[in-house]
Structure 1
Amino acid sequence: MIIVTGMPGAGKDEFVKVARSLGFMDLHMGNTVREYASRNGIPDDDKEIGNFAASERKKFGMDIWARRTAEKIESDELTVIDGVRNKEEMDYFSKFSKSIYVVAIFANRKTRLERILKRDRPDDIRSMEGLIERDNRELSWGIGNVIALADYMIVNDESLEIFYERSRKLLFDHFLIRA
């Protein structure tokens, strides 16, 4: 099982696209958060969804989003889970697999903001101030620890094609030969 982490806009979704094209099953913790937020009448807005996610963590434990996402795991083989934000979530997913590997995606803040503005998701931030606020929120949840504990890191500071190459190489060299 591969856990993908990184700050907002770093390129986690693009890594998952590459993994999916190579036959990996993918689960997105952010989708789980948005599904639950929608069920609870939370507006599709970054701050509102972030507050909801934090509130649920406070009520039910730091691994609540891992527990809710794990309900969708079909197999631990060739599974990529996107969006782990803290060590408790990592630990929870380790119950489902003999081998958990963390891949961190890194891009600088300016590049991440440019990418976020281009992707234009309804719940995305719209300014550097908003990104700083979101970064701080995610850092408060422990994402920095997950990134620091990563088994692999891909720097996503060049073209999308180069990032895809780096992602494919990592997946082939370290995961597909084991499958």
Structure 2
Amino acid sequence: MRKTAHRMVWDIFLVNMIIITGMPGAGKDEFVKVAKSMGFLDVHMGNTVKKYAYENNIKIDDTNIGKFASDERKKYGMDIWAKRTSKYILDEDITIVDGLRNYEELEYFKNNYDDIIVIAIFANEEQRFERIIKRNREDDIKSYNEMKSRDDRELTWGIGKVISLADYMIVNNKSLEEYKSDVKSLLKTIIDSRPKIREKLGL
């Protein structure tokens, strides 16, 4: 447990954590929006990568961010982005962590936090590509071939394994409203099964 304000490290952080994972464009951002509307906090691992990239004067685009993330993993270990992201996770909160990419990151969170739930989000390639192009983020791909390259990179990192180990999976192949309804239903199921989460959310 860690008291964030004073950086006192004890046994394990008293955080209920829901980690979401999935290929680019699967629907993680929309999941987070629904979760936040229900009272959850969110921490985006990708934002941690971009923050460090900015500090290293790296241009923010898909290729540069991907290379930087890979290089840092090779230099500091596969769980480096989980370790760096943990600085932004507050004690004794219910946090959605978006962007898990490999098994080592999952193990880091499991070994350091109180209660971990992993949710994988699945969507097919065509749906994911359409969503990525529509959202038009600065670090996003711009073509289908670029998406394939990004998929290959993330599979190399080990995202396929963490998807296979998820506690829950949502298939995001419906309308946006139907997907939001599915997310809310799953989160309610999780809340109902964990009195501690329900208490912290004030439900």
TM-score clears 0.5: yes
Q: How does 1:86-165 map to 2 (within 5 A)?
A: 86-165=102-181
| 2:64 aligns with one of 40, 43, 48 | 48
Shift of 1:30: 0.2
Residue 69 of structure 2 corresponds to residue 58 of structure 1: no
Q: Percent identity?
A: 58
Shift of 1:42: 0.7
| 2:44 aligns with one of 17, 21, 28 | 28
Shift of 1:78: 1.5
Give the TM-score normalised by the residue count of structure 1.
Answer: 0.97
Q: Give 1:11's aligned residue.
A: 27
Structure 1 unaligned spans of 5+: none
Structure 2 unaligned spans of 5+: 1-16, 198-203
For 1:172, the aligned partner's letter is K
Shift of 1:176: 5.0
Paired residues, number: 179
1:136-166 deviation digits (Å, cap 9, x = unpaired): 0000000000000000000011111011000
Larger radius of gyration between Structure 1 and Structure 2: 2
For 1:27, the aligned partner's letter is V
Go from structure 1 to structure 2 and tell me whether the alpha carbon gap of 1:162 and 1:155 turns closer, same or farther (over 3 Å shift). Answer: same
Shift of 1:177: 4.9
Residue 183 of structure 2 corresponds to residue 167 of structure 1: yes
- Check conservation: 1:29, 1:81, Cα contact below 8 A: yes
- Check conservation: 1:76, 1:96, Cα contact below 8 A: no
Which shows bigger deviation, 2-11 or 69-78? 69-78
| 1:37 aligns with one of 53, 75, 84 | 53
Give the TM-score normalised by the residue count of structure 2.
Answer: 0.86
Cα RMSD (Å): 1.0
Residue 78 of structure 2 corresponds to residue 78 of structure 1: no
**For residues 150 and 157 of structure 1, what CA distance do their matches in structure 2 show?**
18
Tell me the secondary structure at the aligned position of residue 115 of structure 2.
coil
